[in-house]
Amino acid sequence: MRNFIISLSAVVFGLIGGAILMAVTGHDPMEGYRFLFQGGLKNISRFGDTLATGTPLIFTGLSVAFAFRTGLFNIGAAGQMLFGGFCASIIGLKLDASGAVLIPLMIIAAILGGAVWAFIPGLLKARFNVHEVVSTIMMNWIAYWTIYYAVPAYLKAESVETESRALPDKATLKAAWLSDMFGGSYVNMGLFLAVIVVIIIAFIINKTTLGYELKAVGFNRHSAEYAGIGVNRSIILSMLISGALAGLAGLAQYAGNGNNIQIGVLATQGYDGIAVALLGANSPIGVLVSALFFGLLYSGRGFMNAMTDIPPEIADSIIAIIIYFAATSVLMNRVITWFLGRRRANAGSAVSGKGKV
């Protein structure tokens, strides 16, 4: 409950901050927000696009949140996502099989690719106590340059040098019936995959011994060790799962919302995953909701930009402000505690007042 109030107030502060930004730069905030939300919700097709935009964010948000639970800060979701998506694309482009065979293989490839990329920082953390923030950032750049040269070498498009060949439709998460249902939107099976994964991860975290152990390491690694939990094993395992989730984000992005990989770009969803996890208070359901909210901001900004002069980066600015307030939640927490304390004191004085009479 308290987490919910904190996240909600962070969102409110973020929206207020965005309004101030719009007003300061000479735009009308009310009009801006109207078009921003209309752009994401106006009709069924736009709503579908909002869901699709949110899908990779669900995965990266889960990825960051899962590592957070073990006390790890996986800032390298972008690199894991890129490599996972690359592995899946190799399967999708090189293997000649029917969709029913291809898709499961691509899912496995994405999971493995992401997990491998996160395994190295996990191992370095567990074995040598190398801080995962720096090592995952280094892994991001290694992924960036690896893809930069690997895509033109192995998956080159016919005419364009800077992106991979387009995946055939059978090797993507696109589904004609779903797209038709949402009036031609690019929403795809990735969304269902994301919901299933949210449920699985929620189950692992809340209901299994593994989840309990990982959380225990996150709370206090020394006491976890004292209780007989293999701390190093937990750290590596947590990073593997976190990386696998980011790899799935790559699948959802490069073989769902899009159908190829562009070189020279680290997906912004990787970094935004941190924001999603933070706003969602690291709980799987919270991640789902906040990912869809960010998806709304991102998908609505194009429409807003078309209808007004407000630059589309207002969406990024709002998200960034939300994150700053989520990061400083201590302040909010104090306000809530103070508020509850005052109410309790009031109730107490009312009771004692009655006693006197």
What residues line the site for another protein (CB under 8 A)? 21, 25-26, 73, 75, 120, 124, 128-131, 133-135, 137-139, 141-142, 145-146, 148-150, 271, 274-275, 278, 311, 313-314, 316-317, 319-321, 323-324, 326-331
For the bound state, the minimum distance from the C-beta of residue 254 to another protein, rounded and expressed in Å, comes to 20
For the bound state, the minimum distance from the C-beta of residue 311 to another protein, rounded and expressed in Å, comes to 4
Residues 6+ apart with CB under 8 A from 307: 35, 39
- Asked whether the beta carbons of 233 and 219 are under 8 A apart, the reply is no
If the CB atoms of residues 99 and 302 are measured against another protein, the closer one turns out to be 302
For the bound state, the minimum distance from the C-beta of residue 315 to another protein, rounded and expressed in Å, comes to 8
For the bound state, the minimum distance from the C-beta of residue 293 to another protein, rounded and expressed in Å, comes to 16
- Asked whether the beta carbons of 56 and 63 are under 8 A apart, the reply is no
CA atoms within 13 A on the CB side of 326: 22
How many residues are there in the chain?
357
- Asked whether the beta carbons of 136 and 142 are under 8 A apart, the reply is no
If the CB atoms of residues 81 and 193 are measured against another protein, the closer one turns out to be 81
Residues 6+ apart with CB under 8 A from 57: 249, 269, 272, 273, 276, 291, 294, 295
For the bound state, the minimum distance from the C-beta of residue 91 to another protein, rounded and expressed in Å, comes to 22
If the CB atoms of residues 234 and 305 are measured against another protein, the closer one turns out to be 305
CB atoms within 10 A of CB 85: 34
If the CB atoms of residues 192 and 271 are measured against another protein, the closer one turns out to be 271
Q: Which residues pair with 164 in a beta bridge?
A: 156
For the bound state, the minimum distance from the C-beta of residue 295 to another protein, rounded and expressed in Å, comes to 17
If the CB atoms of residues 208 and 223 are measured against another protein, the closer one turns out to be 223
If the CB atoms of residues 38 and 317 are measured against another protein, the closer one turns out to be 317
Q: What is the DSSP string of 306-349?
A: HHSS--TTHHHHHHHHHHHHHHTHHHHHHHHHHHHHHHHHHHHH
